[in-house]
Structure 1
Amino acid sequence: MPPKLKVLKTHQCDGLACEVCRNPRVVIRPFLSDMSGCSRSNFSTLPPTAALYNKPTLSDTTLKVGDESFYVHRLILSAGSEVFARMLGTEWKECGEPELELNEEPDCAAIFDRFLYYFYTGTITITESVVIPLFTLADKYDVRPLYDECVKVIENGLKVYVMSRSPKPVIDVATRPPGVFVVRPLDSPTTSTSSDSDYSESDDMDTASAAMPSQNTTGSTTVVKSFVMVASETFPLVLVIKILTFCNNSRITSAALYNLEARLKKQIQQERYGVWNDLDRDLLLRMLADGNFYCNEYTLFKAAKSWLEYQPETHRGNAAMVAEVLSCVRYPMMDRKQLYAVENDPLMQSCPAATTLLQEALRYKLFKDVGRSDDLAKWQGPQFEARQVKCSDRTEPINLCINSKNGLHKT
């Protein structure tokens, strides 16, 4: 098919007899054609070094990994990894040995052939089942392109999808003029009964009015948003915890922490504390202190209490650990019923540091609107900040109003 033609935009056409129009000077050539006008196509295949993979031909070293041995070439491995360049150069005393033994974890040894094949071909298939050991090997031997690609795959496997919850509405006619009914979501502070909401059932009218400030006779209402977090379960919980314990990549650990929080949130809401009670102390404190651990504070208090009671150190009177854990709970975010239950808890009464935080939370609930400047300055920091959902894309709930004459409409 001949190439398409195009006339210069600056040309002033004189009509059908124009010589320039009949012999255009500007030609749009086919895609991938060179300046000579000759067509060409791209072609790619495995590099010649692929034929040398694990072949004794011209190999100068043998790598022993577990029970397997691989014929390798110093030049190829050194070109792809600075670590291999040092190992196979003159810096290591074993460099002159005909065989170099590498100590790898069993899961890394199982896919070491794929890792080596990447050096010879530049191609590799990364699946979710092998991405963690590949990431470990790429990090250990400083293979940066493979390392960066594994980070992307792992992040994708740790995604947490956040959606706004759209519960069935209820009709409230208590404070409305005749003929106008306001539809209020079930997860609003005055009607919520779900443990997944950040507001539990409460008669605390101060909390309710603070959460829904704009209720007027026009029938509009401010909805307290509630979100459902659906975490990807690509990796088992044990592996996610292992990633948080041993991985040094901030992008991966951040994604893993949020994934673990979202998955454990479901369990602790149902008071299933099996995995939670086995958490390492440092990881537990990291989660409780995280402002993105989007969970009801009273639920977190009960979970923290379960973890403390499960630990043998608690029975030996480790008051410092009890205080450190309970101090991470944000008591000002609880309602009155929850604060009353916490205040009467024996574990709470045995911890003076946590009791002090609780008393300050009660003062905050009572005097936050009339407090002096020194109190307002004291009521700053994570303890007095609600935990937030970490998500940029979410579906917002819609406020609805029912009018007896006009029917259902948005507000």
Structure 2
Amino acid sequence: MKQVNGHQVVQLLEQFSPKYLAMEGDPIGLQVGALNRKVTKVLTTLDVTHEVVEEAIKKGANFIIAHHPLLFRPLKSINLETTAGTLVEKCIKNDITIFAAHTNLDVARGGVNDMLAEALELKELKVLVKTYEDSYKKLIVFVPPSHASAVREAITSAGAGQIGDYSDCTFTTEGTGRFKPGSEADPFIGERGTPEEVQEVKIESIFLASHKNKILKAMKSSHPYEEPAYDIFDQSIQGEIYGLGRVGKLEDPVELGEFAEDVKKKLNIPALRVTGDPSKKIKKVAVLGGMGSKYYQTAKFAGADVYITGDVDFHTAQDAEAAGISIIDPGHHVEEVMKKGLSEELEKRAKKEGLNVEFVYSELSTEPFTFL
């Protein structure tokens, strides 16, 4: 098993929740510590508190991945007489690195909102609020027949040719390539200064723009030519859509009151707030973890009968009720579903890559409210 540092932990995380998915201005990434140090155990948590840091120390974790950034607003100073200052001090003294994955983890496929939708057993999921589209492009590369298979395998292994549930999708044609190596060239085929004609294979494959650099690197490293000839074109087909929240359907319609009780059980919460007639039939559900009250009209437009989100204010609840969409507010803290889900996802990816690092999740509740 390979020893791991913080950079490798972040690489694992960004396979699943890349930073480009984060909303503009979101303070994700390294918060405290250094990424070049050895990491043996990672703790996933919703929030970083003194109690969570003590838990990390007790469990032997020297790297914490938090959903809510510890330093959401820039500190003007690190005053060790303040709560934030003493928390930063405790992390530094115990060699604990803090890393935040916030809205990028909300938006990611399999991230917070998918975890919530899965817990609620919603089907036929779609993104509620589009924030990013990963567009499709096409790579065309010309290769001598002797290396066509190697190049094709290299680019598909790097992510090219993924179309829905199909993988390794390519198209090839044969033809004649013509070129004349210059006086400083080191040609794989032919002589300097002499025009050359060779049989070549044209390989075509589409890919998502986010994979471009990885695919080009794989293509060039497997290609025998000093200067591979290739083209990249934009594609008109819709790319992969990413965004906040999810909209899905229940297996069977259910009354709002019964559904609200079901939400309490499935999200493991003692209480929640509901607007609307308890006898109203619910079939289509929108959910957005955290504070998402401003998107109630988006949920309504998506056809949702009820919208589940936290921190809904009085006037927004009134406006949503007038618009004909019910609200279920289970609180902000339901995002803690990410603790176990993220830990298990990263553990699986680490084992696949043979990395010697353990992932555990916080067992503490950081819910600031007590329900009486």
Q: Which range, TM-score by smaller chain?
A: under 0.3
Structure (1/2) with the larger helix percentage: 1
Computing the radius of gyration over CA atoms, which structure comes out larger, 1 or 2?
1
Structure (1/2) with the larger strand percentage: 2
User: Relative contact order, CA 8 A, sep 6+: which one is greater?
Assistant: 2
